[in-house]
Amino acid sequence: MRTSGTASRPGADRRARLLRLLALPVLSLLVLASALTAPTGAEAASSKYGNARYHQWSFVTSHNAYANTNVNWPFPAPNQSQSIKEQLEGGVRGLMLDTYDPKGTGPVELCHGGTSLCYEQFNSALLTVVNFLQKNPQEVVTIFLENYASRETLSKAVTDLLDAKGAGKMLFDQNDWGIFSSNWPRLKDMVSANQRLVIFQDSWGDVAAGSGTLMNTWSHTVENRYSYGLGQPFGCESRNGNALNTNPMPGTTGLTPLFTMNQFSSDNPDPKAYAKIDNGTQLKSRIEKSCRPAAGGRNPNFVAVDYYQLSDNSGLTPVSVVDELNRDNYVFEPDPAVWTVNDAKQYVSTYGTNRCMVRGDEFPDGSGGLVTQRACANPAPSSHQWTATKPNYDGKGHYWIKAGNGSCLTVPYNNGTPPGAGTQLFWWPCETKWFSGSQLWNVMPTNTDSNGQSHGYYFINQWTGKCLTLDPGTSTAKAGKVTQAACPKR
């Protein structure tokens, strides 16, 4: 029986019968949950970052993180309204700090514009970061120091604090990874090695601190300028010489410079008021229209803002903007739901060995057929070819996935009830006004290698929310199944 109010559809009853034959059993979520164990640190890091390298990830970064209202910052106006601890807990993963040594012998202080305004010791802020990292073993935090302390005093302050916390090996050591020739490591490898605290300083070359390195900012990063007068930031002009699209970093053979995007104007007397304008719609637009193009198509790695939690749009904050960047930058492990598309219009699975999505056998009544996967062919016949085309009746950015014969990739209708995971897909005549969404797909780009050179996609069905998926159980058969299943997990 059809769901009340659902229009009939050609072949619906036959499709329902086929669905019952083709559907795979679905394990109860409760049974599955009881069988799972807590992920290891490496597994959790892989789930969070995939195979993305450090230079492929984006981090919300707080400008003058120490200049916040929690330390009674009087003048000039504070740049943040939360303590460093609260910033980290709120999603900030990059901190900009100004370090001074007023006495010349330590302790190192966090000051602004000279030593007359110092409100917190550096080791107190660093302790907050180390405590956070020890409590959150998959996170990576980067600190940028505008430094005026001596090399010896700063290095000793870092080393003493880390040793006192039993975290001496937590500081990133570029020598362990050979970054100048082999580029930045994968984030999950940094997590596995527990080198999750990255510190840059702008005073000298690279300086050893304990078992790690205080890296020189300007030999590892590029950034745009931050002084724009009293207006909003605009354009994306490089600061300090190196163009934003520099790659590799001069003097190296393989180092991709990290890109810091300064989304604030240091000339503004009221950072809070301007942050409400700069941090939402304007931030997203500037990345897309100015800074990403200026950086040669790369997203900023560090999005530096004042009052990071404020925005002109409650649904669009620096944290949400950066999360969206990372959805695109995530590098998936080989996954049954991730596909590459080659020049021959073949959808090639990243999970199987040379397995392509293929238009399979036709139904006896000639109304459509099954979608299968088999060894990729060269040259690719029409049955192996698919294109993504925007339908003329949908204005929401969805796509038809059209076979070489003009038919559309379709989730079986099942008399109006969305079918479950494991359901084999059909190729079916493209419909021009059916609104279940069974032929509409969101096309989600992603990376498929840790160098950012190979790109793939996962395809989400608009009706069921499940993804176009190679069936692993039949991936060695002459003609296996292509199904819908849960989308890749992040």
Domain residue ranges in the chain: 47-329, 334-485
Q: Convert the pLDDT of each residue in 153-192 to its tens digit.
A: 999 999 999 999 999 999 999 999 999 999 999 999 999 9
Residue 299 has pLDDT above 90, yes or no: yes
Closest CA to 245 of 237, 184, 253: 237
The residue behind tokens 């510190």 is: 199
Considering only CA atoms, give the Rg of the chain.
Answer: 26
Q: How confident is the model at residue 254 (pLDDT cuts 50, 70, 90)?
A: very high
Work out the average pLDDT over 17-34: 33
CATH homologous superfamily of 47-329 equals Phosphatidylinositol (PI) phosphodiesterase (3.20.20.190)
Lowest mean pLDDT among 22-26, 216-220, 339-343: 22-26
pLDDT per residue over 431-456, tens digit each? 887 667 899 999 988 888 766 667 88
Q: What is the pLDDT of residue 131?
A: 98
Inter-residue contact 183 to 52 (CB < 8 Å): no
Residue 390 tokens, joined: 């925007």
Q: What is the mean pLDDT of residues 337-343?
A: 94
Task: Kindly indicate whether the domain formed by 334-485 is annotated with CATH number 2.80.10.50.
Answer: yes
State residue 454's pLDDT score: 76
Identify the pLDDT of residue 20.
36
pLDDT at residue 2 is higher than 90: no
Cα torsion 90, 91, 96, 99: sign: positive
Q: How far apart are CA 55 and CA 48, in angstroms?
A: 15
State residue 16's pLDDT score: 40
Please report where in the chains the tokens 């009746």 appear, as a residue: 393
Write the CB contacts of 280 (distance below 8 Å, at least 6 apart in sequence). 311, 312, 313, 316, 317, 321
- Give mean pLDDT, residues 389-412: 90
27: pLDDT confidence band, cut at 50, 70 and 90?
very low
Give 401-419 pLDDT, tens digit per residue: 999 999 999 999 878 889 9
The helix/strand/coil state of 124 is helix
Residue 132, both tokens: 């956070």
Res. 10: pLDDT tops 60: no
From residue 226, give the alpha-carbon distance in Å to each of 237, 316, 344.
9, 22, 46
**Tens-digit pLDDT profile for residues 140-151:** 999 999 999 999
Q: For residue 117, what pLDDT band results from cuts at 50, 70 and 90? A: confident
**DSSP strands (E only) in 263-354:** 302-305, 339-341, 347-349
End-to-end, the C-alpha distance of the chain in Å comes to 38
Task: Tell me the two tokens of residue 99.
Answer: 């370090």
Average pLDDT rounded to a whole number, residues 36-47:
60
Distance of CA 118 to the CA centre of its chain: 36
What sections of 330-454 are H helices per DSSP? none
Model pLDDT, residue 40: 59
